[in-house]
Amino acid sequence: MRFRRPRAKQAGLAAAVLAFAVVALLLNVPAPARAAPSVSSSTANFVAGSTPYATWNGVDINTASTASSALTIDLAQSATLNYSWPTAAGITINDARLQMFYFGFAVSTRDVTITPAQRAGPVSLSWTPLSISYVLEGVYRLTASLIAPNGSTMWSENFYVRGDAPLGFVALLPIVLLVLVVYELYGLVRSGRYATIGRKSTAVPPASPPTETPPSGTQTSAEPPVEKGPPPSGGSP
Amino acid sequence: MSAASHGAGCGVVLGIVVVIFLQQVSYLVLSDLVPTIEYLVIGAVVGGILGALVGWVLGRSYLARQSIGETTPAK
């Protein structure tokens, strides 16, 4: 007798295989590609003392190069960035840029175009990180960069900020996520009731008694004899 | 849908939501794409496995309770 698997089991097996394949693919991504951010700090071409730098409200962004040392800011408040680079750096800049990244994408970008291009700074940039600060909070990576007239990035520096919600507690997204967590926990606790449904769908029907083959030439009264003649024609018009 | 599969579904959603929630409360940084996807996939897989286990255990206890209720004679 051929055993047929339930559809739920097949779907679960397929999901497990898919999850395993995704994890294996992600673990096979080369380590340098995973570790390096999309825009890395590039200060190797400058001689000592001529490296450009930038300050966030007077604080050197170099002090917030890791997530644990992130600058605590209010996402709704305006911040002033000062880019500085000496003539000895030997670069000509016509664009000072600040970008905020989330899920690898620049969710917010601010540019100050310098016309004509300058061989030395400072350049000031005023920026409000998010106009929807009641929605998000958390740690974000920002990249400050200086761009040459030909579009190439001459200098860039990554730093981290920890954005707090204006109300000082939580923003809209964390509240929605908490509600989702509570709802899914409730669904998980009630998942035991689905056992009955699973059992009903996979239950084997009770075995029927074996049908005895009647001897040839005899007819049971329950089943009418099959006529060998032509099939009946269609109904009356 | 069995209890284990329902629990696994809840666990997958919980794992993903918890990862995003940890970023919002400053425990995780989700600025770069590749670690973010890794965190989400790991959260979903771990949540799914744990959810399936919890659902399976709850389903067994629910069935045990149901069978006890069925075998107890009505007074």
Q: Which residues of B touch A15 (CB under 8 A)?
A: 48
Note every long-range contact of A60-69, with CB atoms under 8 Å and residues 24 or more positions apart, other chains counting.
Answer: A61/A142, A61/A144, A61/A157, A61/A159, A62/A157, A62/A159, A64/A159, A64/A160, A64/A161, A65/A41, A65/A157, A65/A158, A65/A159, A65/A160, A66/A160, A67/A139, A67/A141, A67/A160, A67/B29, A69/A160
Nearest to A174 among B5, B13, B25 (CB): B25
For strands A71-74 and A153-164, give the pairing.
Answer: parallel
Cβ separation of B34 and A29 shorter than 8 Å? yes
Of B36, B51, B66, the CB nearest to A188: B51
Question: Is there a contact between A165 and A134 (Cβ–Cβ < 8 Å)?
Answer: yes
Where along chain B do its domains lie?
3-71
Residues 4-33 of A with CB under 8 A from B: 8, 11-12, 15, 19, 22-23, 26, 29, 33
Residues of A in contact with B36 (CB under 8 A): 103-104
Per-residue pLDDT at B1: 62
CB contact under 8 A, A171 and B24: yes
* pLDDT value at residue B49: 94
Phi, psi of A232, rounded to the nearest 5 degrees:
-65, 145
Contacts with B, A 137-166, CB within 8 Å = 137-141, 160, 162
- Please state, for a pLDDT cut of 90, what percent of chain B lies above it: 43
Strand order in the sheet with A123-127: A59-60, A53-56, A79-84, A123-127
Separation of alpha carbons A30 and A25, rounded Å: 10
Q: Sign of the C-alpha dihedral, residues A56, A62, A65, A70?
A: negative
From A189's Cα to the closest Cα of chain B, the distance in A is 8
Q: Tell how far CA A160 is from the center of its chain.
A: 19
Which of B17, B26, B58 is facing A184, going by the closest CB pair? B17
Beta-carbon separation of A177 and B21 below 8 A: yes
Cis (ω within 30 of 0) for the bond into A116? yes
pLDDT in tens, chain A (237 residues): 444 456 666 766 776 777 677 666 655 554 444 444 444 455 546 777 778 888 988 888 888 888 888 888 877 778 888 998 888 878 888 889 998 888 888 888 888 888 888 888 788 888 877 666 677 788 889 999 989 888 888 889 999 988 877 666 667 888 888 899 999 999 888 888 877 765 555 544 554 555 444 544 444 444 444 444 444 443 333
Contact A193/B62, CB-based, under 8 Å?
A: yes
pLDDT cut 70: percent of chain B above it? 89
Domain made up of A28-166: CATH architecture: Sandwich (2.60)
* φ and ψ at residue A56, rounded to 5 degrees: -110, 105
pLDDT at A181: 92
- Contact across the interface for A101 and B32, Cβ inside 8 Å: yes
DSSP assignment of A130-175: -S-TTT--EEEEEEEEEE-TTS-EEEEEEEEEEEEPTTSS--HHHH
| B39 pLDDT tier (thresholds 50, 70, 90) | very high
Alpha-carbon dihedral of residues B5, B6, B8, B12, nearest 10 degrees?
140
The per-residue pLDDT for B47 is 94
Hey, what are A229's tokens? 């003649």
Count Cα atoms within 13 angstroms, Cβ side, for A18.
8
- Nearest neighbour of A139 by CB, restricted to B26, B41, B55: B26
Which residue of A lies nearest to B13 if distances are taken between CA atoms? A184
Complex ipTM, two decimals? 0.84
- A211, A216, A219, A224 alpha-carbon torsion, rounded to 10°: 80
Q: Shortest CB distance from A191 goes to which of B3, B17, B32?
A: B3
d(CA A110, nearest CA chain B) in Å: 17
Whether B29 and A67 lie within 8 Å, measured CB to CB: yes
- Rg of chain B on CA atoms, in Å: 18
pLDDT interval class at B74 (50, 70, 90): low
Nearest Cα of chain A lies from the Cα of B4 at a distance, in angstroms, of 8
The residue to which tokens 């590039």 are assigned: A42
